[in-house]
Structure 1
Amino acid sequence: MAMSTQLTTPTDRGSAEALARSKGEPEWLVALRGEAAELAGTIEWPKPEKVRIERWNLTAVGSYAASTPAGSLTELPSVVQELVSEGTENLIVQRNSGTAWRQLSAELAAKGVIFTDLETACKEHSELVQPHLFQAVKKDEDKLTALNAALWNGGVFVYVPKNVEVELPLQSILFNDNADATFAPHILIVADSNSRVTYVDCVVTDNSAVSSPFVHPSVVEVFVKPGALVRFGSVHSMGESGVDMTLRRAVVENDGRVEWIIGDLNDGNTLSDTKSIMKGQGSTSDVKVISVGKNAQQMSLTTQAVHFGKSSDSNMITRAVMKDSASAIINGITKIEHGATKANGVQTEKVLMLSSKARGDANPILLIDEDDVTAGHAASVGQVNPEQVYYLMSRGISKSDAERLIIHGFLAPVVSEISVEAVRTQLQRLLERKLEG
């Protein structure tokens, strides 16, 4: 039986708790949701640099619609099917408010790897989930974190035990094909000491089915224990009528490493904030962000590295292309705390504008409270050279193909460095989808 619970307002404590109980969630989670719902009514939206997100349509969070698991992958829309990595045995699919598909290879399960939706994990593995959920990102940081805490559904939980190496990427596809359903995943990854794991996801809208406004309030938390390595690849390609607000955060312990690869390819307004907290000595972070904006969309793209650990190292690269009258504010924030001696933080932002109406801003911010460190930044914002376009057109290439070649050429240095093949393929596919419109 399909049950839909109307959420009167996301800030109503009673509704949030009633919904959690109707889903059979443990009491600690019911309490967390109730507190968060109450908070969501009292605190403000995040205030990113130079972008007035409160002018966006942020109320269309929809209502919870229970989802029915798919009998097979062929029952899912083609936009989803074509993103599934060939031969993958480890896959989770979220459709709107819940999980439609999940599979984990027997081999990984035997090693103690957990890869399931977060709702199931809260019931079956609460001893692993509870100490980590809303610890990297606090539920009371702002209205976005409170909203996700109150409403999150489906989601993904990954746990890799000590010394276990997961060779193949774990993959999830999170999609919406109903603008009226709450679509608010929460992704939680815990990599125990000296483990290695690659997780990749795609967040997409089935554009043939969604044209009315929706909001995607999403939170990602990654815990990298000592000596562990987590690679996290994510490509977002949501519809024009949607607002994507995604907050990602990793806490990295001694000699741990996090690698983020983010493709922000939405057609609608986007708030994307990816942050690594290098808590431990020798901890490292590498972030690559690629984005393309078109029409009148607005984007706030932020990458952050906060250094607490001695000899910690961070590298951040963002490349964005703006077409039409799209605008992007790109912030790179490197913060080196007192005591983080021998830390090194480097960042580069490059923005290319393909039209005179497009806007791009790069704000490199270095906040340094320690002497014995190295930090560097390079930021450039430029218009495409019209002569390049004319030259290509004089060779019989159409204007849109000339733009496409220029975009691919501009992004290529970063794309070619992506070591995870699954992310590269999905990025190329969703980039084409965006450029073909």
Structure 2
Amino acid sequence: MTTETILPVDAARLSELSQANSEPGWLQDSRLKALELAAELALPRLEKTRIDRWDLSKYGSYKTVQALQSLEEAPASVAALVKDQEQGSLIIQRNSGTVYVRLAPELAAQGVIFTDLQTAVKEHGELVRRYLHQAVKPDEHSLAALHAALWNGGVFLYVPKNVIVDTPVQAILLTDDAEAAFVPHILVVADANSSVTYVDNYVSDKSEAGLHNGAVEVFVGAGAKVQYASVHQLGADTTDVTYRRAVVENDGSIEWIVGEMNYGDTVSDTKSILKGNGSSSNAKVIAVGSGAQKLNYTTQAQHFGRNTPSDMITRAVMRDSATSIINGITKIEKGATRADGQQTEKVLMLSPKARGDANPILLIDEDDVTAGHAASVGRVNEEQVYYLMSRGISKHDAETLVIYGFLAPVVSQIPLEGLRNQLQSLVERKLGQ
């Protein structure tokens, strides 16, 4: 049985919006075709999660935004995140559009492009067109199609051949108007032998229901290295659906660092496509669920190239009556000889009503490979708590230490000090410390 998709906008209105934003004809056509697909396609099928029961209709409508003249005008909810960023490369999106863009002059001089996606479409149209919707395809399901039809604001990052970007570039994506559509699209292209670290934060500051339908596409050229770090801290009012995809060429590498700190229902799907020989992927995901959240986290690695290692680690802590489905999928295609796919999923439950389900999946169509998985679901180890209490530590502090010890193998591997500190603070907040 399929659920009929109720479109949040009709073709005439979508064309009108595209023309009002002075978009090129090819993009307008792309949006309209995606809207047609959305009416035909079903919702994504998720492991043990009835997403058809979720309210996925709260898109809002496109609203124009007022640009910030300086970071001093940034909303309070993002002020701490942009502290000391006056000289760095930074993009801020607020609801339907971008309000602040800054690219460090030294990066601009090297040919780096870092701007909002809607501007990039106008100024670098052929480059954007070559990659847009090639990793997260509109025909995957109705949510992907609606995203392709409705995306706004977003980020475009391009790093030319042989350019090494030493300092992270950052984006803040804020939703604080329940009536405004918030559908950002992130597109990162790292050309051959380049290197870059991109960090973004998703923040909400509102009390009415809303939806974030987001997509991330990363293209890693031969010998290039991309480190992609993302923290989602959207409120209980916001349903978050995010699909991330990376396509990695010969000897390229992608490292995902994802912090899922939302308070609302969440679908998060992060996939690396190891297309080239010698390409590699490393994914680290930490999540904390609270209240009555329903959470579905999937991490995937698909191996096509030879000699391709992938490693995926997910650690989730569930409290109150939160429920989570943690999926790890390693797919090794025929011909991907000497591929090595490893994955670990662990869930720690802090209350009798919390639920966690870890599902490691290995799909292997080649003989000459290495693959392995580990998964566990359990509660706080009472013996560890008792041992710490016997050393004079209170039960509350003992349980806290056990939880931090559970998350430490992922958090400690995050190479960005600022991101480590931010995640630590968010974990403490979600755990009520």
Compute the TM-score of the two structures, normalised by the length of structure 2.
0.95
Among 13, 16, 23, the residue aligned to 2:14:
16
Q: Label 1:396 to 1:342 Cα distance change in 2 as closer, same or farther (>3 A).
A: closer
Among 262, 272, 277, the residue aligned to 1:276:
272
1:135 counterpart residue number? 134
Among 57, 65, 68, the residue aligned to 1:67:
65
Tell me how far 1:397 sits from its aligned partner: 3.7
2:77 counterpart residue number? 79
| Structural mapping, 1:300-311, within 5 Å | 300-311=296-307
Aligned amino acid, residue 50 of structure 1: K
Q: Distance in 1 between matches of 2:151 and 2:53?
A: 23
Tell me how far 1:434 sits from its aligned partner: 2.6
2:3 counterpart residue number? none
Tell me how far 1:436 sits from its aligned partner: 3.7
Give the conservation status (yes or no) of the 8 Å contact 1:13–1:35: no
Q: Distance in 2 between matches of 1:57 and 1:9?
A: 13
Aligned amino acid, residue 75 of structure 2: P
Q: Say whether 1:28 aligns with 2:53.
A: no
2:282 counterpart residue number? 286
Tell me how far 1:393 sits from its aligned partner: 6.9
Comparing 77-86 with 388-397, greater Cα deviation is found at 388-397
Q: Distance in 2 between matches of 1:360 and 1:322?
A: 7
**Residues 167-211 of structure 1, C-alpha deviation per residue, up to 9 Å, x if partnerless?**
0000001011111110111000000000000000000112xxx11
Aligned amino acid, residue 70 of structure 1: L
Aligned amino acid, residue 25 of structure 2: E
Comparing 382-391 with 339-348, greater Cα deviation is found at 382-391
Q: Distance in 2 between matches of 1:69 and 1:389?
A: 51
Among 348, 351, 355, the residue aligned to 1:355:
351
Q: 1:365 aligns to what SS in structure 2?
A: strand
Q: Distance in 2 between matches of 1:398 and 1:175?
A: 37
Q: Distance in 1 between matches of 2:164 and 2:83?
A: 20
Give the conservation status (yes or no) of the 8 Å contact 1:11–1:39: no
1:3 counterpart residue number? none
Give the conservation status (yes or no) of the 8 Å contact 1:12–1:38: no
2:417 counterpart residue number? 421
Q: 1:424 aligns to what SS in structure 2?
A: helix
CA RMSD of aligned residues (A): 1.7
Give the conservation status (yes or no) of the 8 Å contact 1:66–1:97: yes
Give the conservation status (yes or no) of the 8 Å contact 1:67–1:99: yes
1:186 counterpart residue number? 185
Q: Distance in 2 between matches of 1:420 and 1:325?
A: 32
Q: Say whether 1:253 aligns with 2:249.
A: yes
Tell me how far 1:221 sits from its aligned partner: 0.1
**Residues 57-114 of structure 1, C-alpha deviation per residue, up to 9 Å, x if partnerless?**
1110111111111122222222211112534510000001111111011100000000
| Structural mapping, 1:47-196, within 5 Å | 47-84=45-82, 86-87=84-85, 88-196=87-195
2:329 counterpart residue number? 333
Tell me how far 1:321 sits from its aligned partner: 0.3
Tell me how far 1:137 sits from its aligned partner: 1.1
Q: 1:417 aligns to what SS in structure 2?
A: coil
Give the conservation status (yes or no) of the 8 Å contact 1:269–1:297: yes
Q: Percent of counterpart pairs with the same letter?
A: 61
Tell me how far 1:430 sits from its aligned partner: 2.7
**Residues 37-63 of structure 1, C-alpha deviation per residue, up to 9 Å, x if partnerless?**
121122111111000111111110111
Q: Distance in 2 between matches of 1:174 and 1:315?
A: 28
Q: Distance in 1 between matches of 2:285 and 2:189?
A: 23
Q: Distance in 2 between matches of 1:34 and 1:14?
A: 9
Q: 1:17 aligns to what SS in structure 2?
A: helix
Tell me how far 1:380 sits from its aligned partner: 0.8
| Structural mapping, 1:33-52, within 5 Å | 33-52=31-50
Aligned amino acid, residue 211 of structure 2: V
Q: Say whether 1:227 aligns with 2:223.
A: yes
Q: Say whether 1:203 aligns with 2:199.
A: no
Q: Label 1:154 to 1:393 Cα distance change in 2 as closer, same or farther (>3 A).
A: farther
Q: Distance in 2 between matches of 1:264 and 1:315?
A: 19
1:237 counterpart residue number? 233
Give the conservation status (yes or no) of the 8 Å contact 1:200–1:422: no
2:365 counterpart residue number? 369
Q: 1:227 aligns to what SS in structure 2?
A: coil
Q: 1:131 aligns to what SS in structure 2?
A: helix
Comparing 194-203 with 72-81, greater Cα deviation is found at 72-81
Comparing 128-137 with 67-76, greater Cα deviation is found at 67-76
Q: Distance in 1 between matches of 2:395 and 2:240?
A: 32
**Residues 106-152 of structure 1, C-alpha deviation per residue, up to 9 Å, x if partnerless?**
10000000000000000100111001000011111111111111111
Q: Distance in 2 between matches of 1:213 and 1:359?
A: 24
1:4 counterpart residue number? none
Tell me how far 1:396 sits from its aligned partner: 6.5
Q: 1:123 aligns to what SS in structure 2?
A: helix
Q: Distance in 1 between matches of 2:82 and 2:207?
A: 24
Give the conservation status (yes or no) of the 8 Å contact 2:269–2:298: yes
* Residue ranges of structure 1 left out of the alignment (5+ in a row): 1-7
Q: 1:65 aligns to what SS in structure 2?
A: coil
Q: Distance in 2 between matches of 1:407 and 1:118?
A: 39
1:430 counterpart residue number? 426
Aligned amino acid, residue 200 of structure 1: V
**Residues 245-278 of structure 1, C-alpha deviation per residue, up to 9 Å, x if partnerless?**
0000000000000000000110000000000000
Comparing 13-22 with 355-364, greater Cα deviation is found at 13-22
Instruction: State how many pairs are aligned.
Output: 426
Q: Distance in 1 between matches of 2:39 and 2:239?
A: 19
Give the conservation status (yes or no) of the 8 Å contact 1:92–1:116: yes
Give the conservation status (yes or no) of the 8 Å contact 2:94–2:176: yes
Give the conservation status (yes or no) of the 8 Å contact 1:10–1:40: no
